[in-house]
Chain A
């Protein structure tokens, strides 16, 4: 059952499902995402956690150590959706035949590489077929595990190792794919976009809804990467806040086809505030690059207006 109220204290007292001692970087957004999504599981509920290949996988289940308190499966890079659909279907088959008694929830994590790009087909199939599972994308906007190569989630003009800025390059030429909208177009019961804001209320509430709404659910979580975004690790929460306040990363959800904006900044901050904290956009602040920032701002504005139209429809 979806939880109606948010009780911060109760949530903090829930047992950790991601054990300490894993090898993710200090200041890694992916880890914050996993830890807090799993905390949204009601105490006593069992879960199988899935994972696409990526930083998270190679740092949280390095044989013979696992950081997961629940059963866990990693298969390959591009098939977290299909893998968990197999687990979820096996659950129904075994339950139907009386071979298992417990109730399980199914949650899988993928980075933007394993989700937006190589795993897109597998994800789309799993969502379309209606498996009762949650796919969580921890979106750090590049292939960080292999060393910061661009993905279709990388924002325009970002400096990555395959879209380096240089005398003949402004960084990544293309803009971001809007995956949350693509998932919403699957007409699944629940899609939400969130990040780490305040006391994580938005993340908890959306995780709770995603896990406890029957049927497929998709969460897109902006999860900054200190190595790829080139920021000082303690700045992660400030960067997330600026992502939301500049409307670069709006907080919204699509429940049963209805678009709902969860937060509208009183005063939309200029995109420079978000960009200037990150080394990957450093070249945009060189004299003569003003048009690039203006172009970035125009695209943020266009997408924000489009979202407002969807939410006010």
Chain B
């Protein structure tokens, strides 16, 4: 165990060093570029012997990852924003071919206008592609999540690719304190990849990527959907084992002062650090404020989220990704649906924040909690269905 300091990208690279995967195709894109750079330099210095493929695009990066994973190699890549969008077609191929590829996603907004800063529109755009998605608040979490990635993705009950997401620059480039776990313990925890079937298996041949007509295709999709459901238990089991080694506790989400909360914010990623400060300030003022920080977005723990929020009077669901559907963002839609299915009576508002890296301050979050009190009292606080915070007047 080593207490040190590093950025989120360095933390992911450190996890990759400990895992020493077989193959990494990658193409640079801000702010994830550092990850393949760190890997290339670790290979150049003999720290790991991963085969690096310097592909000519992200589409080829994911395509090569699919070939590599199908061939039987533990495979990873990294990307952001437009890079992830460029992979979109083949993300579905990776998931439906049941290939446990790990991808470090450093969240950045999709272009329009061009911008390089934190936003979740990239991975949210891929939310229905069949990939597992795990998000982090800080460098420690993205490191720990990456160490757990292959255990979840490669599990025989799952066999699905996985995105390990962190916020661009805010997490990927900011240097913060971190605890690194011992190499031998992590190598043992992650273990060797031993797929049952692969292209290069000695005593069998295999065909990957068929044309499947209507009599067969729907069954394949159902099987894939079931694997996503089974991933829930695997994620919890892997987290428990990780906790036994490291003492770090992970679940589908983190509830911060949520147990007795009447007013809750639901959010993903680095904004949760800011929200926690606001929760503490509101609690000082005697308000029962809480936070639900989503870690696992795919599979979506709908019932568990609804259950954790069941005592709340008012809830603000924070989206860092516009849905452009005239009512809000993806997190807003999914959490609201989860609450409705559970019969919740809480007042709900979907809030848009932090687009294209717009900063969110503690006082912005405090204002949201103040408004939640009014909302809970039945007051018409917001004139819009999905109000923006931090927008210039």
Contacts and interface: CB of A to CB of B under 8 A. Distances in A.
Interface of A: 48, 50, 57-58, 61-64, 66, 68-76, 78-79, 81-94, 96-97, 99-102, 104, 121-122, 124-126, 128-129
A128 B54 CA distance: 11
| A-B pairs with lowest CB-CB distance, top 9 | A86-B67, A86-B64, A125-B56, A82-B60, A90-B71, A90-B73, A79-B63, A74-B209, A82-B63
B186 interface: no
A308 B211 CA distance: 43
Contacts of A66: 207, 210
B202 interface: yes
A85 B51 CA distance: 12
Contact of B216 (A64, A85, A88, A125): A64
Given A71-B207, A100-B72, A62 B64 contact: no
A74 B68 contact: no
Nearest to B199: A71
A34 to B, nearest CB: 14
B70 A100 contact: no
Contacts of A87: 67-68, 70-71, 199-200
Interface in B190-217: 199-200, 202, 205-213, 216
Contacts of B199: 48, 71-73, 87
B149 to A, nearest CB: 18
The secondary structure that dominates the B interface is mixed
B75 A63 contact: no
B56 A121 contact: yes
B64 A85 contact: yes
Given A63-B210, A82-B67, A87-B67, 15 more contacts: A71-B206, A71-B207, A72-B199, A72-B207, A86-B69, A87-B70, A89-B64, A89-B68, A90-B68, A90-B72, A91-B200, A93-B50, A94-B72, A99-B72, A125-B55
A182 B210 CA distance: 31
A128 B56 contact: yes
Of the candidates B90, B205, B206, the one having the most CB atoms from chain A within 10 angstroms of its own CB is: B205
Given A57-B211, A75-B209, A93-B23, A86 B57 contact: no
30 contacts: A48-B71, A48-B200, A50-B67, A58-B211, A61-B210, A63-B213, A68-B205, A71-B199, A72-B199, A72-B208, A74-B210, A76-B63, A79-B60, A79-B63, A82-B63, A82-B67, A83-B66, A85-B55, A86-B65, A87-B67, A89-B25, A89-B64, A89-B68, A90-B69, A91-B71, A92-B51, A101-B202, A102-B202, A122-B60, A129-B53
Contacts of B59: 78-79, 82, 121-122
Interface string B61-91: 1011111111111010000000000000110
Nearest to B193: A99
B49 interface: yes
B93 interface: yes
Contacts of B49: 96-97
B211 A86 contact: no
Nearest to B202: A102
A83 B211 contact: no
B22 interface: yes
B128 to A, nearest CB: 18
Contacts of A76: 63, 89-90, 93
Of the candidates B25, B51, B60, the one having the most CB atoms from chain A within 10 angstroms of its own CB is: B60
A62 B200 contact: no
A62 B212 CA distance: 6
B67 A75 contact: yes
Given A76-B90, A92-B51, A121-B56, A86 B207 contact: no
Nearest to B66: A75
Nearest to A78: B59
Contacts of A78: 59
Nearest to A61: B210
Nearest to A122: B60
A81 to B, nearest CB: 8
Nearest to B205: A71
B64 A124 contact: no
B73 A93 contact: yes
Given A62-B211, A73-B199, A90-B200, A129 B54 contact: yes
Interface string B27-67: 00000000000000000000001110111110111011111
Contacts of B208: 72-74
A299 to B, nearest CB: 31
A87 B75 CA distance: 11
Contacts of B209: 61, 73-75
B216 to A, nearest CB: 5
A75 B89 CA distance: 10
Interface string B281-322: 000000000000000000000000000000000000000000
A225 B368 CA distance: 66
Nearest to A80: B63
Contacts of A75: 63, 66-67, 90, 93, 209
Contact of A84 (B55, B67, B69, B210): B67
Interface string B203-245: 0011111111100100000000000000000000000000000
Nearest to B71: A90
B120 to A, nearest CB: 26
A102 B68 CA distance: 17
B71 A124 contact: no
